[in-house]
Structure 1
């Protein structure tokens, strides 16, 4: 309680020679409390004016100065968004292309594709269906050692084949594409074929070029962005390089099962080649 205000009110009562009843005391104390509140608020405002307002003024001046000194640059603009979208469409990428046999639910034809926008080039690595590899499930867990084509039949979706291919070539795979086996045979001009005929030296692999790859992507199921596909179609300078393991595999039989085994040195070199092509060393 403010002693000065207390004295003021009691002095006033004495001068008027009033009878100071219990009710008078209560009224007087209420008035004193109200006066103290006014005094306290006034004191707080004084402290704010003395300390906070100058600081606020300084901050305001700094913000104005920064605004005047720096060129106008919004956090985003339609131009920036369009540029970012264009950059996304032009990025290097990798894609797993597989045949889709609705009758057998297995892929006999698979290719790993890497694209580099730096030199408008595409590397294509055919993957033999009988290649002996570690098979992984969609969660990245190793299941077994078996033929590569088993990875394409583990799930209705291509995730297991994608993970298995990532482990085989030690790169991340950005997209996938599944094309009907009939369409692949049509593009390769193969009229009659059996599953056993899809070896690494089959016509499907031997006739890979820019037009055939674009035809597969246009006619298949893929999560490749449409902008990226359009960029490829409009790129008349696109070159295709087939990285074949045909001369680097040997046939083996394990427990009565036929396999293709790839040369380890070739695989190591190819992994490095793909990483360099994607600039992901």
Structure 2
């Protein structure tokens, strides 16, 4: 019986080894298995000799030695993540086929309770990483169709302004446009600033988010106090140029405008 068990252990061990081995290798293998079995016996004997109560206590001590660093590490990470409750959100107006015709980048500062809003033109010529890891250039409007929907749009806008984007909110484009009193022509021609300034409020945004797909946490959502937050629109129109590439209309944001907007957002989120 003992030999059968030993044989099973031998072949189990050999499953992970080369099939072609020498007589020396075979002896080495058997020696390793014997040592493994002896160590198990020694460990079992130790627990039998010290008694079940002491053994249980020893297990608890060993477990705490492993778990305590993990617990304290997690606590430190949690505290670090709550040192600054400022965050950024990309509000997207979704069209069929994963297109986003309206993209509003929002940066909320928890200290002074202000929110900066950047309307990003739908026809902005941007680098987009597709599902194969390749980078192509196209309109921001089409970014979601190249990869993972909202996450691809988020990554594209994040790269454009060189800031991290924490959350996204996707809303049917028609409903978002209607709530901001925007026409299709306003969106196509990037005539958004005036209407957004007049119609976007924190209370309206909270109402929209409640009815939409988002990865915002409840805690971050509750930070948006409708009565105390002021909203400022960042107008980039002076730094936007229209261009035609192979007969297709695009807009391109000048590097100076991108850098200036990026700095403003970064300082606002710090």
Please classify the TM superposition score into its range, dividing by the shorter chain length.
0.5 to 0.7
Q: Distance in 2 between matches of 1:163 and 1:124?
A: 18
2: CA distance, partners of 1:204 / 1:109: 13
C-alpha separation between the residues in 1 aligned to 2:169 and 2:243?
A: 30
Deviation at 1:170, TM superposition (A): 0.7
1:132-151 mapped onto 2 (5 Å cutoff): 132-137=125-130, 141-151=133-143
How far the C-alpha of 1:107 sits from its partner, in A, is 0.7
Q: Which residue of 2 aligns with 1:277?
A: 268
**Counterpart of 2:230?**
239
Q: 2:221 aligns with which of 200, 220, 229?
A: 229
**Compared with structure 1, are the counterparts of its residues 205 and 136 closer, same or farther at alpha carbon in structure 2 (3 Å cutoff)?**
farther
Match of residue 127, structure 1, among 100, 120, 131: 120
Q: Is the 8 A contact 1:89 1:228 kept in 2?
A: no
> 1:229 and 1:197, CA in 2 relative to 1: closer, same or farther beyond 3 A?
closer
Distance 2:131 2:231 in 1: 30
**Given the alignment, which residue of 234, 239, 252 partners 1:261?**
252
Compared CA separation, residues 88 and 126, structure 1 to 2 (3 A): same
Q: Is the 8 A contact 1:131 1:260 kept in 2?
A: yes
State TM-score, norm by structure 1.
0.61
The answer to whether residue 69 in structure 2 is matched with residue 96 in structure 1 is no
Q: Is the 8 Å Cα contact of residues 92 and 116 (structure 1) preserved in structure 2?
A: yes
Offset at residue 246 of structure 1 (A): 1.8
SS in 2 for 1:268: helix
User: Is this contact kept in 2: 1:185–1:204, CA < 8 A?
Assistant: no
Residue 171 of structure 1: which of 163, 167, 170 is its match? 163
CA–CA distance in structure 2, aligned partners of residues 276 and 266 of structure 1: 16
1:208–1:242 CA contact under 8 A, matched in 2: no
Equivalent residue for 1:161?
Answer: 153
Query: Are the equivalent residues in 1 in contact too, given 2:116–2:233 (CA < 8 A)?
Result: yes
1:201 aligns with 2:191: yes
- 5+ residue gaps in structure 1? 1-75
1:49-60 maps to which residues of 2 (within 5 A)?
none
Structure 1: distance between partners of 2:181 and 2:119: 18
Is the 2:244–2:250 Cα contact (8 Å) retained in structure 1?
A: yes
Q: 1:98–1:178: 8 Å Cα contact kept in structure 2?
A: yes
- Considering only aligned residues, what root-mean-square deviation do their CA atoms show, in Å? 3.0
User: Is this contact kept in 1: 2:107–2:269, CA < 8 A?
Assistant: yes
Correspondence 1:217 to 2:217? no
Deviation at 1:90, TM superposition (A): 6.6
- TM-score, normalised to structure 2's length? 0.64
- 2:243: which partner in 1? 252
1:204–1:110 CA distance, 2 compared to 1 (3 A)? farther
